[in-house]
Every structure is written in structure tokens, then in C-alpha cells.
């Protein structure tokens, strides 16, 4: 080593050890995840449970005219199900508390189309509570799915339905402990029972109709750490582009301010909204169907 190199190294080492000298951390560049999103992404692996009226009708999307009395499980054990999730390495579970048929699997005060009209446990059952308690017992996180589309409600597509839907959100996020994620499906509007009208209803712009900005504000106040899937361009997570267990390629975790980027995301987007990759365990959809288990 020549004298010039030795002198240069000595100077660098000496200056780095000056009293009180510290390097400033680099400033974030572009969109970055929130603390809640970081915790969510570190979960890596969790699952859905689709269990409701469709389990007993063989349908994927109930029409909304199904009788709650058909929900009558004889050997349901939430603890066994959640235990299986835990053994499989999953760190959370999301339960479909209400699918498009509008049946609420908890004793909601927002609609009569709920589990209190089921013969299961003499109308005293609450599937949401049983799954929430089972998740707590086995040490995994609990989440919920609440379909915005309601093919049973007579006011769906009108202003009156929004009061019903907001009340359902508040109930699920207030009465069952911590919820790590709430899931809003993108299927919105079409034909349905709608209180007996049996017609097709179009809500137009879903973001404007549901007022997802208001919904997100409400969720943040009740459970600040809850990840919001969907909710127009206001949510924390989004669809990955398939239901085959993978996301589109190339893929980015950022999107535009108004949600631009779709299933691939947008390079250099202004918001960090990572995708969720999901897939079913049968060949016919998300609900159980006779003879369709893979």
C-alpha cells in the first residue's frame, strides 16, 4: 500500500470517529407502506372461509330470496377449522360474514335477513363470534368480508341501503375484537330479489354510491390498524389480477392517486397499495359444493 492510500484511509477513519458525528438516514423515496401495511405484508399467508346460505344451496351467488332457515349446520366447529389454518402455517383468517345474497351470519340489528332466523342454536347463534373467538384461541388474526352488494335488501341501489351497510360495518368492527382486514368485494349491482322486486339494479359508480371515502374514515376511527381491501381507490390492498394464487407480471405495489394500475400496479405510483394473491381449494368457486373438493 503506498503512502497516499494509507493517508486517505487514515483520514476517513479518523473523521468517522469524531465525537457526536452521525449520518442522517436517507429520506423515503416515493410512496411507502404504512405501519399497518408492513404488519399485514409480513403475515404473508392467510385464508378465507366461505360459509353461509350458499353452502346449503350449492350456489356461488345466492339470489337473495333464500330462507335463513336452510342455514342449519349439524357439526360446525370453528375451533377445528381455525386449528387447521394454524397447522397449515396461516397467520390469519377472513370470514365471509355477508355474501351477495345479503344473509348476515351474525345477529345484526340492520336487517331481519340474519342468523336469528336460523334454527341453528335456536336462533341464538353467531358464526362471526365463534370464528373470532377461535382465532383468538389459536393465536391467529381474525378478519371479515362484507359484501357491498346485497341482493336481498329492498333499498339496495337507493340511499336507504347505505344506513344499513354502514351499521353492518360498525357492528363487525366494534363487537368482535381486533379485525386485521376487512374485505369489500368488487361485484356490485345486477339482478336480485331486492325485497320482492325481482329486478336488475345498476348503482353506476360504486365509489360514489357507497361513498367509500366516508367508509374508510369510519373504519380508521374504529380500528386504525385494520387493512381495508378494495373500497374503490381508498383502500390499503387490492386485487392481484387473478384468482389462481398468483398476481400479474410485471407487478408493482404502487398505484395512481385514483387507483390507476389495475392488477399490475403502476411503477412510481403515488400510493402504496399492494396486491393480494388468492385462489380456491375446489374447482367450482369459493363456496363448498358437493363433489367439487380438489
User: What is the CATH number for 150?
Assistant: 3.20.20.80
Q: Is residue 149 part of a domain?
A: yes
Predicted pLDDT of residue 261: 77
Q: Are residues 211 and 135 located together in one domain of the fold?
A: yes
Q: Are residues 197 and 279 located together in one domain of the fold?
A: no
Q: How many domains does the chain have?
A: 2
Q: Is residue 12 part of a domain?
A: no
CB 154 within 8 A of CB 196: yes
Measure the CA–CA gap between 244 and 255, rounded to whole angstroms: 22
Q: Is residue 35 part of a domain?
A: no
Q: Are residues 249 and 194 located together in one domain of the fold?
A: no
Measure the CA–CA gap between 103 and 173, rounded to whole angstroms: 18
Q: Are residues 265 and 197 located together in one domain of the fold?
A: no
Q: Are residues 59 and 200 located together in one domain of the fold?
A: yes
Of 159, 132, 150, 174, nearest to 53 (Cα)? Answer: 150
Q: Is residue 39 part of a domain?
A: no
User: Which parts of the chain register pLDDT below 70?
Assistant: 1-20, 293-294
Query: The pTM is what?
Result: 0.89
Domain boundary among the residues 220, 236, 252 is at 236
Bridge partners of 49?
95
Provide the domain limits for residue 223: 44-236
274 CA to centre of own chain: 13
Predicted pLDDT of residue 29: 82
Amino acid at each position: 500500500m503506498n503512502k497516499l492510500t494509507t493517508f486517505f484511509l487514515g483520514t476517513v477513519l479518523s473523521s468517522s470517529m469524531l465525537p457526536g458525528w452521525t449520518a442522517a438516514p436517507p429520506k423515503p423515496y416515493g410512496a411507502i407502506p404504512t405501519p399497518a401495511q408492513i404488519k399485514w405484508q409480513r403475515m404473508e399467508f392467510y385464508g378465507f372461509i366461505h360459509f353461509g346460505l350458499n353452502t346449503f344451496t350449492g350456489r356461488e351467488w345466492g339470489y337473495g330470496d333464500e330462507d335463513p332457515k336452510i342455514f342449519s349446520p349439524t357439526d360446525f366447529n370453528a375451533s377445528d377449522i381455525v386449528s387447521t389454518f394454524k397447522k397449515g402455517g396461516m397467520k390469519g383468517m377472513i370470514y365471509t360474514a355477508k355474501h351477495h345474497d345479503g344473509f348476515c351470519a351474525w345477529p345484526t340489528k340492520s336487517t331481519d335477513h340474519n342468523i336469528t332466523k336460523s334454527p341453528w342454536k335456536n336462533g341464538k347463534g353467531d358464526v362471526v363470534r365463534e370464528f373470532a373467538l377461535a382465532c383468538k384461541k389459536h393465536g391467529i388474526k381474525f378478519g371479515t368480508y362484507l359484501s357491498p352488494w346485497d341482493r336481498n335488501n329492498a333499498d339496495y341501489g337507493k340511499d336507504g341501503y347505505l344506513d344499513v351497510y354502514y351499521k353492518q360495518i360498525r357492528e363487525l368492527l366494534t363487537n368482535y375484537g381486533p379485525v386485521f382486514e376487512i374485505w369489500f368485494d368488487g361485484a356490485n349491482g345486477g339482478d336480485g330479489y331486492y325485497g320482492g322486486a325481482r329486478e336488475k339494479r345498476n348503482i353506476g359508480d360504486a365509489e360514489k354510491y357507497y361513498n367509500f371515502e366516508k367508509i374508510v374514515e369510519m373504519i380508521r376511527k374504529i380500528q386504525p390498524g385494520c387493512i381495508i381491501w378494495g373500497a374503490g381507490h381508498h383502500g390499503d390492498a387490492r386485487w392481484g389480477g387473478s384468482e389462481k394464487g398468483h398476481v400479474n407480471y410485471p407487478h408493482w405495489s404502487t398505484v395512481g392517486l385514483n387507483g390507476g394500475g389495475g392488477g399490475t400496479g403502476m411503477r412510481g405510483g403515488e400510493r402504496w397499495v399492494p396486491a393480494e394473491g388468492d385462489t380456491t381449494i375446489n374447482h367450482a368457486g369459493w363456496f363448498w359444493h358437493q363433489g367439487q373438493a380438489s
